[in-house]
Amino acid sequence: QITLKESGPTLVKPTQTLTLTCTFSGFSLTTSGVGVGWIRQPPGKALEWLALIYWNDDRRYSPSLKSRLTITKDTSKNQVVLTITNMDPIDTATYYCAHTLLYSDELGYWGQGTLVTVSS
Amino acid sequence: QAVLTQPSSLSASPGASASLTCTLHSDINVGTYSIYWYQQKPGSPPQYLLRYKADSDKQQGSGVPSRFSGSKDASANAGILLISGLQSEDEADYYCMIWHSSACVFGGGTKLTVL
């Protein structure tokens, strides 16, 4: 059974760096074809894809946010970490992580999400 | 113009069919893309429904009823999610998604009301 869970601060100040952790089970990021991505959703708004990392350390980023994003993995801990620099109130959103498979590319399993508010 | 455009809302009656569209930017051809569809209910994460590229290349999400199906309208440069036999539980937000230039892009979502 594949599960994912996001964790991190619920409140950050403007200009701070946000670090979010996705802890997963039921699969391994050492398995060929496996990936984990991050998606966010501001309150009442649409989904926005942020980044993705594959088993082979191939990393993909949203072009509009690439300069602020870093995605890494720790296979020994079954975790994927996303950092976002220079946070702004418009970055207030629920942040989700999701499992994907190369070649099929669906985001088939999602975590429950974590709400991050950016405010001074 | 956004990469993917979805109507913001759609209403349909129980038992009827609903056709949700996802129009691609005029610079990209729907024929070359797989269209992914997700359903999101209030307070819950999105759930993967299906992928559609062609009748010969499609995938239903695990446990997703067959009354959810995908298609394309090449003349409109659009992907379509068809939901037949609408039920009250189908009331939700629906998002389309594609992979474009090695990045994932979501549409703005359609709120489906079943009344």
Distances (CA, A) of A64 to A9, A31, A47, A68, B105: 23, 29, 14, 9, 11
A51 contacts on B by Cβ (under 8 Å) = none
Confidence of residue B1 (pLDDT cuts 50, 70, 90): confident
- Take residue A53 and report the two structure tokens written for it: 């990392």
Predicted confidence band of residue A84 (pLDDT cuts 50, 70, 90): very high
Is residue A53 a contact partner of residue A69, using CB atoms and an 8 Å limit?
Answer: no
Provide the mean pLDDT of chain B: 97
pLDDT at B11 over 90: yes
Q: Which residues of A touch B60 (CB under 8 A)?
A: none
- Contact A105/B102, CB-based, under 8 Å? no
Report whether pLDDT(B66) > 90. Answer: yes
pLDDT digits (tens, 9 = 90+) for A40-69: 999 999 999 999 999 999 999 999 999 999
Contact (Cβ atoms closer than 8 angstroms) between residue A82 and residue A17: no
Looking at residue A99, what is its pLDDT? Answer: 97
Contact B101 A63 (CB under 8 A): yes
The secondary structure of chain B in percent helix, strand, coil, rounded to multiples of 5, reads 10, 55, 40
Give the pair of three-digit tokens for residue B6.
Answer: 């979805």
Task: Determine the Cα–Cα distance for residues B5 and A66; give it in Å rounded to an integer.
Answer: 23
**Chain B CB contacts of A62 below 8 Å:** 103
Give CA angle at B59 (B107, A94), nearest 5°: 40
Residues A3-43: tens digit of each pLDDT = 999 999 999 999 999 999 999 999 999 999 999 999 999 99
Closest residue of chain A to B50, computed from CA coordinates? A106
How high is the pLDDT of residue A103? Answer: 82
Instruction: Please state the rounded mean pLDDT for residues B44-53.
Output: 98
Check residue A104 and give its pLDDT: 83
